[in-house]
Amino acid sequence: SVAALNTATVAAMRRKLVGPNTAVNYDTPLHIVRGAGAYLYDIDGNKYLDCVNNVAHVGHCHPQVVSAVSKQMSILNTNARYLHGNLVSHAEALAASMPEPLEVTYAVCSGSEANDLAFRIARAARPGAEHVAVMGGAYHGHTRLLIDMSPFKYEGPGGEGRKPWVHVLPCPDPYRGLHMDGKAAARAAIAEAEAEGGRICAFFAESILSCGGQIMPPKGYLADVHAAMRAHGAVCVADEVQCGFGRAGSHFWAFDAQGVVPDIVTLGKSIGNGFPMGAVVTRREHALAFSNGMEYFATCGGCTAAGAAGLAVMSVVASEGLQARAADTGDYLMARLRELQKLYPVLGDVRGTGLMVGIEVVDGSMAKHHAPSVAHWIREAMVARRVLLATDGPYANVLKIKPPMCFGRAESDHLVEQLSQVLAEGVPEEMAAYDAAWHARGMPKTVKPWLLKL
């Protein structure tokens, strides 16, 4: 069987048969064959604590989701061109979870599709406005359009830089007290568009910036940006692909925690617990503007099995109290990480809400210099201890923790214990040297400092 292919064979086949830049995690890639709850298992039966997979929102292979999907697959799985209770019930559950004007759902197959469609809806709602505004460091998806709307990608290796129709609000950096004024940032983006003879049709932002480095916008920041963007005539899009469905702990939707009501919300990842699906939820007036005669159809968007998956996820989040659990676990975990932070100044900042937590790794000096090599080294040392972390942020120096929501206090203890042992062993000195050399070059986003020749 496929699962019986050994690791060396899989690696060799992958090199030969799969697109060469298809991303793989960790210096020595893992051969994972099973998942359950917050754990993954490799081909040799080793068990890993998964601290990063926010797609497996209610836990890897949650039995209720698995049974809802497999049962539906055995009865019917077809497209949304037929009437079926699953699509409408899922749309009803999404609308009920959001503030009033957000009531109409479009079903798609991924977060990228959701953002691409959101852009089309915004263009229809604001005819003549063709520019867009995004946050610095943002990632919104992998289509051609969305790579251009994602500084995380276009500023990095292989990127083509900012296109003239894209305007970037510098990402707030509360840890360093930089770019904290939303009004000023929005005004500058609007002025830049107008100077180029354009108008902004939409402002896209995550309410907690994930790829941007697990950044919580300062209080009132998004409300100020939304007000300025609306005064300019733009619609406001909340990308909840990573931060939605209770992950923020305090609120079901992260935009709610920021006190804003977006015009369009985009969903993905956790919406299907791994069943490939996404959604756009918007106001009726925008849906009507978008209904210009051209049909909306996505072959698998809103298919019968997707509805089953989506309903099961929402039902498990409620029945298992996962939002409250995320709030409790997140507070507990951050308190423990802050104890560790007192001992190890390379843990510059511990931040987040619920189960969306970031640890910004720095050089430990007053200058708070980003330390991607140290972060990378910690990540690799942790995977050797079978704890899976990832690095993120425009400089890849933020360790991110956004595990399945069944992650609890026991898992937090294990993570902190292992991290504490890794740090007690001591970060190799050359890591600091790599980071210093990279700083001296002006922190190029296209360079991985730990690969520099010193």
Assess 48 for contact with ligand PMP (CB under 6 A). no
Q: Are strands 387-388 and 47-50 parallel, antiparallel or unpaired?
A: parallel
CB nearer ligand PMP, residue 120 or residue 142: 142
Q: Are 391 and 376 in contact (CB under 8 A)?
A: yes
CB nearer ligand PMP, residue 39 or residue 139: 139
Q: How far is the CB of 384 from ligand PMP (least distance, A)?
A: 25
Measured between alpha carbons, how far is residue 58 from residues 123, 269, 319, 374 in Å? Answer: 35, 11, 11, 31
Give the list of residues 6+ apart from residue 408 with CB closer than 8 angstroms, or none: 325, 329
CB nearer ligand PMP, residue 239 or residue 256: 239
Assess 141 for contact with ligand PMP (CB under 6 A). yes
Assess 115 for contact with ligand PMP (CB under 6 A). yes
Assess 242 for contact with ligand PMP (CB under 6 A). yes
Assess 418 for contact with ligand PMP (CB under 6 A). no
CB nearer ligand PMP, residue 60 or residue 269: 269
Q: How far is the CB of 109 from ligand PMP (least distance, A)?
A: 8
Assess 110 for contact with ligand PMP (CB under 6 A). yes
Assess 206 for contact with ligand PMP (CB under 6 A). yes
Considering only residues 258-277, where is the footprint of ligand PMP by CB under 6 A? 268-269
Assess 207 for contact with ligand PMP (CB under 6 A). no
- The whole-angstrom separation of Cα 244 and Cα 253 is 5
Give the list of residues 6+ apart from residue 113 with CB closer than 8 angstroms, or none: 141, 143, 278, 298, 301
Assess 344 for contact with ligand PMP (CB under 6 A). no
Assess 137 for contact with ligand PMP (CB under 6 A). no
Among 210, 273, 329, 397, binds ligand PMP (CB under 6 A): 210
Please name the residue ranges forming H helices in 268-402: 284-290, 304-319, 322-343, 372-384
Q: Are strands 264-267 and 235-239 parallel, antiparallel or unpaired?
A: parallel
- The whole-angstrom separation of Cα 86 and Cα 304 is 6
The amino acid occupying position 23 is A
Count interface residues toward ligand PMP (CB under 6 A).
16
DSSP string, 23-79: ---SSS---EEEEEBTEEEETT--EEEESS--SSTT-BT-HHHHHHHHHHHHH----
CB nearer ligand PMP, residue 239 or residue 363: 239
Assess 150 for contact with ligand PMP (CB under 6 A). no
Q: How far is the CB of 150 from ligand PMP (least distance, A)?
A: 9
Assess 241 for contact with ligand PMP (CB under 6 A). yes
State the residues that interact with ligand PMP by CB under 6 A: 110-112, 115, 139-142, 206, 210-211, 239, 241-242, 268-269
